[in-house]
Amino acid sequence: MREIQLDTIRDAVAKLCIDANCLLGDDVVRALKNGLATEESPAGKDILNQLLENEQIARKEMMPICQDTGWAVVWVEMGSGVRVQGGELYDAIQQGVAKGYKDGFLRKSIVEDPLRRKNTGTNTPAIIYTDIVPGDGLKITVQPKGGGSENMSEVKMLSASDGADGIAKFVLDRVWRSQANPCPPIIAGIGIGGTFEKCAMLAKHSLLREIGSVHPDPFYAEMEQSLLERINRLGIGPQGLGGRVTALAVFIEAFPCHIATMPCAVNINCHAARHQSVTL
Amino acid sequence: MAKKITAPLTAETVKDLRAGDSVLISGTIYTGRDLAHKRLTDALKAGEKLPFDLAGAVIYYVGPSPAKPGQVIGSAGPTTSYRMDAYSPMLMEKGLRGMIGKGNRTQPVLDAMKQRGAVYFAAVGGAAALIARTIKAAKVIAYDDLGPEAVRELKVEDFPAIVINDTYGGDLYVAGVAKYKKD
Ligand code: SF4
């Protein structure tokens, strides 16, 4: 059994929260720059430039890219040969999130009850998804998820007979109805298959993929490409002011399905597609 | 060229603005988002005095991140506006002339804007560190217990925004998207 100290995990999570919120990924920066070449609207170009300038300021001053520093969604891949010393894994993660949001001057956006809405003041609880995997490593990914784009997300129980066309229709309709709300350019994460909740998790997980990476299954690679083109024909454009660059990427994750169902989830992310990982 | 305007807004300033105009706002604006709007309108219904004067006021829908030592404010980009739609008409009735946020408004808000002479501006969502540079002073003036949702008075200089809805029914979101839509 390999032992990892609680403090080590806590401090690593705190750093991931800060880095994810202040340092935008190279893939997003590249995608925004590529967008400058395809955007036809002058206002749209101007916005893409502002987002790039914003990224530079955030990086230099280590301040958040966006004031909505999000839900801390934490993905854990824990080797079956690992044990946490000095406490429980989940305590280590929750303490790390609270520390990161405090030390990094990140906004605390979580209320303790959906109806009574009192801020917890620590940005905890984090949402934690754990996978037990072979080996003695511990991989942790922090994915701060903003509320504005989360609100534009949806799960739908489609029928198998709806097929790929039904999925495309649902995705395009969801993006169309979102308009300026999720701060386009967006990234659309799509989960297909599994159960009702599983497909939503697939959609969220798909948002961790690198922009520009190609889906390993050519069937879905083509579907992603076609959806991206169709979304960018909608004309919503940067910030919904009209233009070509509505989405930077479409990511699909598919999973086995029950013979009677075909759930589909669309999780919308903004350009602040934040995530950082570490392997301890 | 961006139009330079001063907040609080006069009726003349508002009349001069058209959907699509870029503006640089200087002067005093107030922050308020979901819970602050609920409290402000509850106070109005109860006949209580508001923490700031609504006449000509501009409310910026933002919950900033905390200021680091030496900073005036943390990152401070707009939040999505439709969540304030249930409250905005009542505030406009009492003098509110400008709202800054992002995303489409619903019909009752658009109607109230025309009727009361108010405008809706968008700031660039996600450009929060860049926008913070135009905020020169910030202080909490009400509802401190709401944390990021407290009402703050902001002194801004050349705060960049775009007129989405003017008082004549112009709507940049609708017109802009129609221009680029292909299907
Ligand atoms: S949708 Fe994204 S960029 Fe827009 S305010 Fe929310 S977190 Fe920030």
CB A31 within 8 A of CB A249: yes
Annotated catalytic, B154? no
A47 in contact with B, Cβ within 8 Å: yes
Question: pLDDT digit string (tens) for A123-172?
Answer: 999 999 999 999 999 999 999 999 999 999 999 999 999 999 999 999 99
Q: Give the pLDDT score at B183.
A: 74
Q: Where are the domains of chain A?
A: 2-20+65-145, 148-273
What's the pTM? Answer: 0.96
Please state, in angstroms and rounded to a whole number, the distance separating the CA atoms of residues A101 and A16. 10
User: What string of H, E and C letters represents the secondary structure of A9-55?
Assistant: HHHHHHHHHHHHHHCCCHHHHHHHHHHHHHCCCHHHHHHHHHHHHHH
In single-letter form, the type of residue at position A129 comes to Y
B120-132 pLDDT tens trace: 999 999 999 999 9
Q: Assess whether the previous peptide bond of A125 is cis (omega < 30° from 0).
A: yes
What mean pLDDT is reported for chain A? 97
Domain with residue B108: its CATH number is: 3.20.130.10
Segment B79-122, tens digit of pLDDT: 999 999 999 999 999 999 999 999 999 999 999 999 999 999 99
Handedness of CA A12, A145, B83, B12 (dihedral sign): positive
Non-local (6+) Cβ contacts of A20 within 8 A are A142, A143, A144, A274, A275, A276
Number of separate domains in chain B: 1
- Residue ranges making up the domain that contains B124: 3-180
Residue contact B125–A239, C-beta within 8 A: yes
Work out the pLDDT band at B1, boundaries 50, 70, 90.
Answer: confident
pLDDT in tens, A50-101: 999 999 999 999 999 999 999 999 999 999 999 999 999 999 999 999 999 9
Closest residue in chain A to residue B101, using alpha carbons only: A181
Between CA A218 and CA A150 the distance in angstroms is: 28
CB A233 within 8 A of CB A52: no
Residue B77 alpha carbon, nearest atom of ligand 1: 5
Q: Is B89 on the interface with A (CB under 8 A)?
A: no
DSSP per position, A103-158 = HTT-----BSSTTT--B-SS-PPPEEEEEEESSS-EEEEEEEE-HHHHTT-EEEEE
* Chain B residues whose beta carbon lies within 8 Å of the beta carbon of residue A40: 180
Set B37, B97, B102, B116: catalytic member: B37
